[in-house]
Amino acid sequence: MSSLFAMDIQKLKGVGQKRGQLFEKLGAPTVGDLLRLYPRDYQDWTERLPIAQAPLGEVCVVRAEVLRVPSQVRLPGGKLLFRTTATDGETDMQLTFFNNRYIPKLLEEGRTYLFRGKMQRVKGSSAMTSPEFVPEEREQEIVPIYPATAGLGSRVVAGAVRNALALVPEAPGDPLPPALREEYQLCHLGYALENIHFPRSQTDLEIARRRLVFEEFLVLQLGLLQIKSGRREKNLHPVTGEYPEEFAELLPFRLTGAQQRAIAQGVQDMAGLSPMNRLVQGDVGSGKTAVAAALCWTVIQGGWQAALMAPTEILAAQHHQSLSALLGPAGVRCALLTGSLGAAKRRELLESLAAGEIHLVIGTHALISEKVAFHGLGLVITDEQHRFGVNQRVALAQKGASPHLLVMSATPIPRTLALMAYGDLDVSVLDELPPGRQTIETYLIDSAKRDRAFRYVQKHLDQGRQGYLICPLIEEGESGMMSVDAYAETVRGAFPHTAVGVLHGKMKPAQKEQVMEKFAAGDFGLLVATTVVEVGVDVPNAAIMLIENAERYGLSQLHQLRGRIGRGQYPSTCILISDNSSPETLERLRLFKSTTDGFAIADADLKLRGPGDFFGQRQHGLPQLKIASMTMDLDLLRQAQRCARRLFHSGGLEGEEYRKLRGEIQRLFAKTGGQRVAL
Ligand code: ADP
Ligand code: MG
């Protein structure tokens, strides 16, 4: 089997050079890859229903005899239409076909066919329009549907797969050794390949799929475990294992239990034999920054430097401000490095950083730039990690000699998925919000009620609070949607006594920062903004948010936006404005209204959008799964996870019987790029 991965697809019977390129485009440059190009769907012709029992409006297969030669009707405009009747002996069914003049040749009177299509009722009788059909003696009954590309249809792919299957030896080398297959009741690879492509029955298909899903999860998990252990180098920055007591004294508040646990876990990691590799996961407002600060403080006490990378300039500036206010008085020297820093200042900063005079540098991805060098980088933190690729995380870490790594994420990923996405990290969960947090009320209204909403905003302003007004577009766009500037004018008109700031992504970083500073200082009562405020921005006095065209946002994005309020001691209100009445939108917005639980929202989002989107366009850097679904196959995922851990920790992967499995891991991760897999 593995040699088929060395066989160029062009060498396969019936493919050749031109088609070979199309196969390559489909992700099958070799015969081996083609065998692993699984159907995206199947047409099942096996379950046939009597015409009378076929559910209306659903695709089904019926077996029926054609009662008469199809008759031709010419419609005005020249279109051709054919009609005939077929029967299953009990019930008749009207058949209509458009624009296919071969119908009379293909459908013979007195012959029995299988028809596949949506059953309808027309004038009281059963009917199908343009069903697919085959003579009943057709042999293969579950038809694979392949991902197709221009010039390469599913049928051609199926043909090539048949030829490829013919090359698979009777008993191909199986990455899963017999003992493992037996333990988890998985079929042999040869059987699985045969039946995933051309299943004889739904049961065979299920058996094949189960095995392949398990294998894929197992390979993925083992790969992740290997990456993780690849970082099991020596800890070059061992801190003393104590919880940083003095740090607690710097804080204006008492740490929550969850924060204390996360800090203790991090400190313990950093005192261990190998570098820390940890994810801190906590919903918006759970206080991740304090955890980061504690760990920075610990590392800096040990005489090393720390770097914190944030996805936006606003956020970097904000972290810089709060961390230098917190740690500065204790003698920690902090600096801010973003793309907008002037050349002279930048040079100066880089020099002191390289000389070790700066203890903590906070910045955007500008930190990864080649020119940035450290004196002794002991800790790398990335905030809102889902915005960064694995590669960026690694690039920053390479500025030091195996520094400790901390990743902070506000995306409440369901646990199993977290294990998957961050399988190479240990996880701390901040499952407790700081005390005194107020609940956020959420309302959904249509734009006719905007005036009332504005009055409600005014009430909050009168009480000394501030608010965000979120507007979807920077520039004038589709009808009915205002640009930020136009909207800001409306807002200024409606709130004549309030200073209104404007913030959007196209502003210069320095401008953005200035606006944010003024808003944080209370100089602006209201901030009209696009989703640039979505990430991390922290102004506790802001207690009201209005989101215009709420239908334009995904659930997780809404959750991030709403996380900007309810951060202080004030009861907060979020008002969604939408005139969209599509049932899905309403369902989404109602669900959002009903809960502030990030995990519930993440779960719903996952169901609505699927994991691909969920992880932000594969930014996580994980290899793409070919058959397994992280949402549908959770049970197999858990089994494979357990199996992987056991194999890995018992050193069980080294034996000869796992040579093929090791090959699969290498193959899966070879395509990811940027990830080192030590095998
Ligand atoms: P996030 O997890 O979203 O990054 P932050 O670290 O920005 O949250 O913290 C949110 C707010 O809560 C900040 O204003 C911070 O000062 C405050 N905060 C954090 N921890 C505590 C605590 N233990 N008690 C009170 N307030 C806290
Ligand atoms: Mg944060």
Residue with the nearest Cα to atom 20 of ligand 1?
Answer: 287
What's residue 620's pLDDT?
Answer: 45
Kindly state the average pLDDT of the residues 424-450.
86
- How are beta strands 404-409 and 377-382 bridged, if at all? parallel
Asked if residue 431 has its Cβ within 6 Å of ligand 1, the reply is no
- Ligand located closest to 563 CA: 1
Q: Which of 251, 286, 288, 289 to mutate to test the pocket of ligand 1 (most atoms within 8 A of CB)?
A: 289
Q: What is the mean pLDDT of the chain?
A: 86
Cα(3)–Cα(677) distance, integer angstroms: 22
* pLDDT tens by residue, 66-108: 999 999 988 888 888 999 999 999 999 999 999 888 999 999 9
Sheet of strand 500-503: strand arrangement: 440-445, 572-577, 542-547, 466-470, 526-529, 500-503
pLDDT digits 0-9 by tens, 474-488: 666 655 667 888 899
The answer to whether the CB of 540 is under 6 A from ligand 1 is yes
Check if the beta carbon of residue 476 is closer than 8 Å to that of residue 482.
yes
Establish whether residue 256 lines the binding site of ligand 1, counting it when its CB lies within 6 angstroms of any ligand atom. yes
Q: Which ligand is nearest to the CA of 323?
A: 1
CA–centroid distance, 86 to ligand 2, in Å, is: 66
Res. 390 pLDDT band, cuts 50 70 90 = low
Residue 401 — very low, low, confident or very high, per pLDDT cuts 50/70/90?
confident
Q: Which atom of ligand 1 is found nearest the CA of 383?
A: 4
Whose CA is closest to atom 4 on ligand 1? 288
Mutate to test the pocket of ligand 1, among 567, 570, 596 (most ligand atoms within 8 A of CB): 567
434 Cβ below 6 A of ligand 1: yes
- Residue 298 Cα to ligand 1 midpoint, Å, equals 19
More confident residue, 577 or 675: 577
Cα three-residue angle 544-407-437, rounded to 5 degrees: 30
Cα separation, 368 vs 352, in Å, equals 17
Query: Does the structure show a pLDDT above 80 at 425?
Result: no
As a whole number of angstroms, the distance between CA 320 and CA 315 comes to 8
Q: 0.85 exceeded by the pTM?
A: no
Strand order in 277-282's β-sheet?
334-337, 360-363, 305-309, 377-382, 404-409, 277-282, 426-430
Query: What local confidence, expressed as pLDDT, does residue 5 receive?
Result: 83
Instruction: Name the more confident of 573 and 224.
Output: 573
> Strand, coil or helix: what is 257?
helix
Average pLDDT over residues 631-643: 83
8-state DSSP, 343: H
Per-residue confidence (pLDDT) for residue 191, from 0 to 100? 95
Pair 107, 115: CB distance under 8 Å: no
